[in-house]
Amino acid sequence: MSELANIARAMVAPGKGILAADESSPTIKKRFDSIGVESTEENRLSYREMLFTTEGAEEFISGVILFDETIRQKTSSGASVPELLSSKGILPGIKVDKGAKDLPLFPGEKVTEGLDGLRERVAEYRQLGARFAKWRAVINIGDGIPSDACIRANAHALARYAALCVEGDLVPIVEPEVIMDGSHTLERCHEVTENTLTAVFAELREQRVPLNEMILKPNMVLSGTTCPTQASVREVAEATLACFRKTVPEEMPGIVFLSGGQSDELATAHLNEMNKLGGGPWELSFSYGRALQAAPLKAWAGNPANLPAAQKAYLHRAKCNGAARTGSYTEAMESGA
């Protein structure tokens, strides 16, 4: 097995998942605004170092996706952030896309930019200690959208990115996110997710990306946020598994779901139910941002004295999601926290 295939398997090791700590500067500013903390480079590092130094988190966290600023920073111990993570047996990763921009002539639709210069950025990030990368595509559901052109444009970009990563010795995380905002039904989300994944894997094969050397980071199949009828946990799990059995090739080592704005507990419950049902050839794991970070961020509140409480909150969420990897998460784990 190749080194990249081994790293991909380590990223979805049993009982573990990935922390997405790759918020862009505007996004982390919003998070910090919510707790009344100024978004300075020093504060951003303090917050992220609080997460990365949490004792025991490595039992449940296989890798961390970093932002460009973070991968270049030195921690209070003098080690770089990738060195700190590697010393705990956690794989450092990096977000490499330049964000979703308006797709010209397609109102309401997005295409992700960042392919220009990517080969050189991949080489630099590999040198800085990254072992995997991430690129996110955004697919909106609305009146008459997504268009086939939007899905094709994003699938093509995802595959080009993935090929450049494999060439540059990084495992690509391929993230086509069908956004949950909207009034669409579970069935409509299923249809759009299926169409998107079908296009993405067709492009990946076309561009010769070895599927055993990459990881998929998709949305779950969910009712839109403003849909009057919200699907149950069981319905979400069944619909998601049905969709992925139809579209995701079995040589893929694993699927790491994004939380996409779900509450902490619901993201965990959905993953847990999928693993209870089982039946897929791939590992079903998590790559959560907000669903792992909301509780520790609130507990931290920018105060160094709150560090133990914040780390406890982060470890709790990591542990709950680790349990969801085997279908052994229960609501009692929340009340017992």
**Active-site option among 95, 110, 134, 217:** 217
Asked whether the predicted pLDDT for residue 35 surpasses 60, the reply is: yes
The dihedral built from the CA positions of residue 109, 21, 158 and 277, taken in this order, carries a sign that is negative
Place of tokens 């069944």: 238
pLDDT band at 336 (very low <50, low <70, confident <90, very high): low
Per-residue model confidence (pLDDT) at position 337? 57
Contact residues for 313 (Cβ-Cβ < 8 A; gap 6+): 295, 296, 298, 299
Q: Are 84 and 76 in contact (CB under 8 A)?
A: no
238 catalytic? Reply is no
Residue 101 annotated as catalytic: no
Q: Where are the domains of the chain?
A: 3-335
Q: Which CATH number fits domain 3-335: 3.40.50.150, 3.30.530.20, 1.10.3720.10, 3.20.20.70?
A: 3.20.20.70
pLDDT at 57 over 80: yes
In this prediction, residue 1 has a pLDDT band, given cuts at 50, 70 and 90, of confident
Could you say which of 109, 175, 213, 283 is catalytic? 175
pLDDT for 261 equals 87
**Mean pLDDT, the chain, whole residue set:** 97
pLDDT tens string 110-149? 999 999 999 999 999 999 999 999 999 999 999 999 999 9
